[in-house]
């Protein structure tokens, strides 16, 4: 017999708890009821004639959704505008990258006190102060690379590597020395200095800024050739941090070249002679330079001989070759009353101890 809570025909077969158990997992909480689109009228409301059993509740409409989307879009625009305004007005903006300064150049010819010694290139090297110099790039060695306050050890090593690359390209590359090539050197310069470099190559002048021989070592191939491609080198590299965003490398190297004349004009045909160039450079690197593998050349001081004091060495170095003498010529005159850029001509005397011994 069916109980009071069971249907007259009893509990349906196959359902252990009867029909109610089928819906026990469904929970009609308060939020579910409030969110229903249909809601039953109260008993009093249903007593009215022709009243419907349920009412429709207002739901999400496309019109209301569009308004809310526009409001949200407006808030986003206001927030973005505020952020941009605060960024423009921020008192601690990152300063703009400082433009590279023009290179300052000093080139000093060194005049011999007698005739230039000549002979076989290997023997000249062996009898000269360059006898124990290393050959080529091996003579440009690195100091120990250590991190600084604002730069890592790898960044310090990068600066030293770029400095060495610049010295190799501008002092040892045969195409640069006697072939007139300039691109290998130009590619290693900060773009802010490339215009000054180009002017120095096209119209060199001894004005302290536009001497081609301040940027690189170059000989006139119509007069001079390399008697030995293995240049002898000795010198030092030093590095220091000069600010939170800059490293500076100071190089001091002596390069000894064995040269021979391409045309005999007062020189002994077939004989080689030594020509010595001391280059003191100061190179600066900011973080962009380190990333782009380039340098800012700040100062270049060159002493080279044997040369005649009267020769202009701003375009190419002008070696005196085997058997030649400097003569009595003096450097080009300097007018202290002239306006515009100053052109200070300098000349030194090459010590006899710098020449190969007989």
Tokens linked to 317: 């170095």
Please state which of the ranges 43-57, 188-202, 301-315 shows the lowest mean pLDDT: 43-57
209 shares a domain with 86: no
Closest-CA residue to 170 (of 134, 225, 217, 214): 217
183 shares a domain with 66: no
* Residue 65 covered by a domain: yes
* Residue 8 covered by a domain: no
120 shares a domain with 205: yes
- Taking the C-alpha atoms of residue 12 and residue 176, their distance in angstroms, rounded to an integer, is 104
283 shares a domain with 170: yes
224 shares a domain with 168: yes
- Taking the C-alpha atoms of residue 57 and residue 34, their distance in angstroms, rounded to an integer, is 9
142 shares a domain with 56: no
- Taking the C-alpha atoms of residue 319 and residue 116, their distance in angstroms, rounded to an integer, is 10
206 shares a domain with 129: yes
pLDDT of the residue at 93: 46
Closest-CA residue to 108 (of 218, 224, 1, 206): 206
225 shares a domain with 253: yes
275 shares a domain with 187: yes
202 shares a domain with 68: no
For the stretch 291-324, pLDDT in tens is: 999 999 999 999 999 999 988 999 999 999 999 9
pLDDT of the residue at 298: 97
* Residue 10 covered by a domain: no
Taking 70 as the threshold, does the pLDDT of residue 273 lie above it?
A: yes
Tokens linked to 42: 């109260």
Instruction: Examine the fold and report which residue of 60, 90, 120 is the final residue of a domain before the chain moves on.
Output: 90
What total of structural domains would you count in the chain? 2
Taking 60 as the threshold, does the pLDDT of residue 16 lie above it?
A: no
Q: Is the pTM of this model over 0.75?
A: no
* Residue 98 covered by a domain: no
* Residue 15 covered by a domain: no
177 contact partners, CB below 8 Å, separation of at least 6: 171, 217, 218, 219, 226, 257
* Residue 229 covered by a domain: yes
Domain of residue 39 covers 30-90
Of 49-58, 86-95, 222-231, 349-358, give the range with the top mean pLDDT. Answer: 222-231
pLDDT of the residue at 64: 59
pLDDT of the residue at 68: 75
pLDDT of the residue at 62: 55
pLDDT of the residue at 137: 97
254 shares a domain with 126: yes
Instruction: Examine the fold and report which residue of 43, 63, 90 is the final residue of a domain before the chain moves on.
Output: 90
Please state which of the ranges 100-104, 210-214, 339-343 shows the lowest mean pLDDT: 339-343
pLDDT of the residue at 336: 67
Q: What is the average pLDDT across 4-10?
A: 52
* Residue 4 covered by a domain: no
Tokens linked to 330: 């003096």
* Residue 95 covered by a domain: no
Q: How confident is the model at residue 157 (pLDDT cuts 50, 70, 90)?
A: very high
pLDDT of the residue at 37: 53
Taking 90 as the threshold, does the pLDDT of residue 250 lie above it?
A: yes
Q: How confident is the model at residue 94 (pLDDT cuts 50, 70, 90)?
A: very low
Query: Is the omega angle on the peptide bond into residue 306 within 30 degrees of 0, that is, cis?
Result: yes
131 shares a domain with 109: yes
């Amino acid at each position: 017999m069916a109980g009071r809570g069971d249907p007259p025909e009893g509990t349906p077969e196959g359902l252990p708890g009867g029909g109610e158990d089928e819906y026990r997992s469904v929970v009609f909480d308060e939020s579910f009821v409030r969110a229903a689109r249909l809601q039953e009228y109260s008993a009093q409301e249903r007593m009215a004639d022709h009243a419907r059993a349920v009412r429709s509740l207002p739901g999400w409409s496309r019109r209301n959704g569009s308004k809310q989307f526009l409001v949200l879009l407006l808030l986003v625009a206001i927030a973005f505008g505020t952020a941009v305004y605060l960024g423009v007005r921020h008192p601690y903006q990152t300063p703009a990258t400082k433009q590279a300064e023009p290179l300052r150049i000093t080139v000093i010819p060194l005049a011999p006190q007698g005739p230039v010694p000549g002979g076989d290139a290997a023997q000249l090297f062996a009898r000269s102060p360059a006898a124990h110099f290393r050959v080529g790039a091996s003579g440009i060695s690195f100091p120990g690379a250590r991190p600084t306050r604002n730069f890592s050890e790898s960044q310090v090593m990068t600066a030293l590597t770029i400095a060495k690359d610049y010295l190799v390209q501008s002092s040892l590359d045969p195409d640069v020395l006697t072939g007139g090539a300039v691109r290998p050197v130009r590619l290693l310069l900060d773009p802010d200095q490339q215009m000054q470099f180009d002017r120095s190559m096209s119209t060199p002048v001894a004005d302290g800024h536009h001497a081609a021989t301040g940027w690189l070592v170059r000989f006139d191939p119509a007069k001079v050739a390399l008697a030995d491609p293995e240049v002898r080198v000795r010198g030092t590299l030093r590095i220091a941090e000069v600010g939170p965003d800059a490293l500076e490398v100071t190089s001091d190297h002596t390069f000894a070249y064995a040269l021979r004349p391409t045309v005999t004009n007062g020189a002994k045909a077939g004989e080689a002679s030594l020509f010595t160039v001391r280059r003191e450079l100061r190179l600066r690197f900011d973080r962009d330079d380190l990333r782009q593998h380039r340098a800012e050349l700040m100062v270049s001081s060159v002493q080279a001989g044997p040369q005649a004091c009267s020769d202009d060495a701003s375009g190419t170095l002008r070696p005196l070759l085997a058997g030649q003498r400097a003569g009595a010529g003096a450097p080009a005159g300097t007018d202290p009353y002239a306006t515009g850029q100053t052109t200070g001509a300098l000349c030194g005397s090459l010590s006899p101890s710098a020449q190969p011994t007989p």
